Amino acid sequence: MSIKSGNLKIGVLAILMQVTGAWATVTTLPRQNSNFQRASVAKEKEVTRLWFKIKASNKFERSKIADLGIAIEHVTEDYVYGIGSEDDRKKLLRAGILDVSFEFTDKMKIPVDSGYRNYAQITESLQNLASKYSQITTLSSLGKSFEGREIWVLHVSGNLKDSDKMPAIFYVGGHHAREHLSVEVPLRYAEKLLELYSQGDERIVGLINSRDIHIVPVLNPDGIEYDVQSGYYQLWRKNRSHGKNGNFGTDLNRNYGYKWGTGGSSHDPSSDVYMGPQPFSEPETQALKAYIEAHTNISIVLSFHTFSELVLYPWGHQYGGIADQKDFQVHEVMAKKMAQWNNYSPGQASSLYIASGDMMDWCYGEHKLISFTFELDPSNDWGSRGFYPGSDIVPSVMAKNWEPFLYLMSYADNPYRALEGKNIYSPMAY
């Protein structure tokens, strides 16, 4: 997502001028699993993907566009840019707000960057970490994806036996298949944390010995595999569950139960923002829900996405802010503090447009967890390929978000300490 609204930055969606849509049919690799067997024989509907430039000058007009089922990918002061189908084009024409549209072609495909790990490589990396640092890590699965892949979670603590009694934080990446940077960053953070711990870094040792840390690099393993397995990026967003009439996929970040289906998502299974047939209809969101609810010591969650360089907090489903003023303030204060390090733009998610059924709203709305979303680099897509920046960007993105990553970890014991109005955190503290 790329945006400029008020204080929020934007770019121009050149990426959509460069990449092919997700209409290409790719055969799902078979597994010994009933869902894989269905996937291997189910015929997916081929849908021509279109790029749209749509008239919209404020969050209310943008929300109306999102309600049409358009995946808004970039916002300027007077227009939004997005992708959709021929049916979406007809909706926009009837509404009288479509400025320009064109069909993606094969010439717009971007080759897969091998600097981003695929599912097999992610699995191997996590297994290696759990083996090398077995005294402070365990690797387990939240559950299986629709096609039967394990959804890995790396559990890190200096006191694994009693970690459920310690302050906990939950990090997750890869809700959306095309956001490979959102997978690579938490995975590399896990590697960096453990390496620094083994080196005796005082700050990291202090954090790991006093915290219960849960890292899920990729929630949507089926989607990320589909996006890369042809050798060219498919601009795929959703998971790979089977909908009606040959339509595949649900937008996992529109499938959570809190205020599900109240705006900014679609009942149309062909839409990129399809909310699913019911809340938590997808095995991936069911698995995350069960894990969060089983770990009642979690106080803070952070979901990694791309792109736009934003620090977002609830609400997404409504324009009004969090009613509990103390809770609103802790989100606002912490977001602004983190923005000082990563130079991102902080703000309430609905200042962009309404989007319901997302993880952040559910975590706070149902469980009062302090919840953030990072829309990682780039800020725009001119020359940076938007969702598909080269993997050479990863070190700089990690560097600018390292302090925010640790800041949230350090406040897991009591996020409300951030409201004390004094310098209670420094990069040398934990």
Beginning with the edge strand found earlier in the chain, give each strand of the sheet holding 71-75 in spatial order.
71-75, 79-84, 50-55, 98-103
How many CB atoms are located within 10 Å of the residue 383 CB?
A: 10
pLDDT at res. 5: 40
pLDDT tens by residue, 289-330: 999 999 999 999 999 999 889 999 999 999 999 999 999 999
Cβ contacts of 129 within 8 Å, gap of 6 or more: 137, 139, 154, 190, 191, 194
Give the alpha-carbon dihedral of 124, 129, 130, 131, to 10 degrees: 90
pLDDT at res. 35: 56
Backbone phi and psi for residue 54, each to the nearest 5 degrees, phi listed first: -125, 140
Selection from 260, 282, 271 nearest residue 355 by Cα? 260
Q: How many residues does the chain have?
A: 430
* Triad 220, 4, 80: Cα angle to 5°: 70
Q: Which two tokens stand for residue 201?
A: 């870094």
Q: Which two tokens stand for residue 101?
A: 């549209």
pLDDT at res. 44: 83
Domains of the chain: 15-112 (3.30.70), 119-226+251-419 (3.40.630.10)
What pTM did the predictor assign?
0.87
**Residue found under tokens 């849509």:** 21
Q: Show which residues are catalytic.
A: 375
pLDDT band at 49 (very low <50, low <70, confident <90, very high): confident
Burial of 229-264, coded b for 16+ CB within 10 Å and e otherwise, reads beebbbbbbbbbbbbeeebbbbbbbbbbbbbbbebb
pLDDT at res. 1: 53
Q: Distance between CA 379 and CA 12 in Å, rounded?
A: 9
What CA–CA distances, in Å, run from 186 to 94, 301, 313? 43, 13, 19
**Residue found under tokens 């916002």:** 75
- Mean pLDDT score of the chain, rounded to an integer? 87
Q: Which two tokens stand for residue 213?
A: 């840390």
Q: Distance between CA 87 and CA 71 in Å, rounded?
A: 13
pLDDT band at 21 (very low <50, low <70, confident <90, very high): very low
pLDDT tens by residue, 108-145: 788 999 999 999 999 999 999 999 999 999 999 999 99
Contact 155, 220 (CB under 8 A): no
pLDDT tens by residue, 381-427: 644 577 888 999 999 999 999 999 999 999 999 999 999 865 444 44
Taking 90 as the threshold, does the pLDDT of residue 332 lie above it?
Answer: yes
Q: Which two tokens stand for residue 264?
A: 């900014």
Report the DSSP pairing between strands 345-348 and 298-306: unpaired
Over residues 268-273, the mean pLDDT reads: 92
pLDDT band at 41 (very low <50, low <70, confident <90, very high): low
What CA–CA distances, in Å, run from 13 to 40, 53, 343, 388? 34, 10, 21, 12
